[in-house]
Structure 1
Amino acid sequence: MRRLLLALPFALLPLAMAHAADDHDHEHGSLGAHEHGVGSLNVALDGQTLELALDGPSVNLVGFEHIATTDADKAKVASARAQLENPLVLFSLPKAAGCIADQQELESPLFEAAPEEAGGGAKAAHHHSDIEAHYAFTCSKPEALKTLDLTQFFKTFPGTQKIKVQLIGANGQQGVEVTPKAPTLTF
């Protein structure tokens, strides 16, 4: 599933370097910095295959980064996971494109570790954890895939204020930022 997405960092390196220069004064001043409220989304369209790879701090999606120990925190993690398991709701694709979600993979320490395995409360409380989601779609009419609307994503996860997108599609490559006020990506 990650065949296309593995090529993205190399293909978009010039865009990433330019963006890094703009972000030089932000947290840690480096690519891939863990920045609350900000996520990244890699999008690759190759023939009928559309792949999405989302990555961001878990605080953006559940409101915290520590291992869930309370019932309330466990419920937030379960809810976020359930939402992420519905990519066609979170990422609105044109119906005319006929996209079907074929594969998905969700990864996060919050999804896997039980409190007893977290290595102690103090360590877990200060750990920066991310949530990663990888999706593959087959689109019967990829030529109709003109936009990707993240309005529902921002409504579902209001802790996310900005998503840095790297895209490779039929019209080449681009790097853009989407926000709740400008949530649509154009292919």
Structure 2
Amino acid sequence: MCRLLLALPFALLPLAVAQAQPHEHEHDHEQGSLSAHEHGVAQLNAALDGKTLELELESPAMNLVGFEHAAKSDADKAKVAAARAELDKPMELFALPAAAGCKVASKELESPLFGDDHDHDEHAKGHDQEHSEIHAHYRFDCASPEQLKSLDLAELFKRFPATEKIQVQLIGPNGQQGAELSRSSTSLSF
């Protein structure tokens, strides 16, 4: 399944190129990069394979906590802890239907803001982490995956209001698709 998620961005690369209009910061040297850091925009890769659903969310920290610098003040530390607590509840964030019988099999949250020992954000490494990102990876085991008719991100938009758009790449029983979701259009059919 991990190979499937890793291959997803390449399978949908033509769609990403067609829709990519990244905001380049003054000091960005990777112009035109598909991994450009854009505030307000997050990416979600989703793959349903048999009874396994994998979701991988990547977002600039600005969208989820309101800043990207290391949390030093008590207020900043509280914001990071609150965001991590929200991300720790994927069943609520992704509104998976109860009829699908999905249970969280694994979850992994990573960000330099969480004090992780390693940073998977290559873009941030080159800029002294002034562009911190938060990565969340979830794997669900679903007893009745045929009941997964759609993926609804309304709750994610509600809990993280600085997130304006989520670019979704999905592989499901009906093939692959990509979409850009927003507050006014929060769901995508499998």
Q: TM-score range by the shorter chain?
A: 0.7 to 0.9
Q: Is the 8 A contact 1:94 1:148 kept in 2?
A: no
Q: Is the 8 A contact 2:154 2:187 kept in 1?
A: yes
After TM superposition, give the deviation of residue 185 of structure 1 in Å.
1.4
After TM superposition, give the deviation of residue 93 of structure 1 in Å.
1.1
CA deviation profile, 1:88-140 (whole Å, cap 9, x unmatched): 001111211111111000010000169xxxxxxxx86x711000000000111
Which residue among 77, 81, 85 is the counterpart of 2:84? 81
**Over aligned residue pairs, what C-alpha RMSD do you find?**
1.8
Distance 2:116 2:146 in 1: 42
1:174 match = 177
Identify unmatched segments of 5+ residues in structure 1.
115-122
Which residue among 52, 67, 72 is the counterpart of 2:55? 52
TM-score (norm 1): 0.88
Partner amino acid, structure 1, of 2:14: P
2:123 match = none
1:12 match = 12
Partner amino acid, structure 2, of 1:14: P
Identify unmatched segments of 5+ residues in structure 2.
25-30, 118-126
After TM superposition, give the deviation of residue 3 of structure 1 in Å.
3.1
Q: Number of aligned residue pairs: give it.
A: 175
Partner amino acid, structure 1, of 2:6: L
Distance 2:109 2:2 in 1: 13
Partner amino acid, structure 2, of 1:53: E
- Percent identical: 63
1:118 match = none
TM-score (norm 2): 0.87
Which residue among 143, 146, 152 is the counterpart of 2:146? 143
Distance 1:19 1:153 in 2: 22
Partner amino acid, structure 2, of 1:32: S
After TM superposition, give the deviation of residue 14 of structure 1 in Å.
2.4
CA deviation profile, 1:35-65 (whole Å, cap 9, x unmatched): 0000000000100000000001000000000
Q: Does 1:35 align with 2:42?
A: no
2:189 match = 186
Partner amino acid, structure 1, of 2:96: L
Query: What SS is found at the alignment partner of 1:61?
Result: helix
Alignment of 1:60-75 (within 5 A): 60-75=63-78
Distance 1:30 1:6 in 2: 18
Query: What SS is found at the alignment partner of 1:29?
Result: coil
Distance 2:98 2:181 in 1: 21
Residue range with higher mean Cα deviation, 51-60 or 90-99: 90-99
Q: Is the 8 A contact 2:110 2:116 kept in 1?
A: no
Residues 172/45 of structure 1: CA separation in 2 closer, same or farther (3 Å cut):
same
- Structure richer in helix, relative to its length: 1
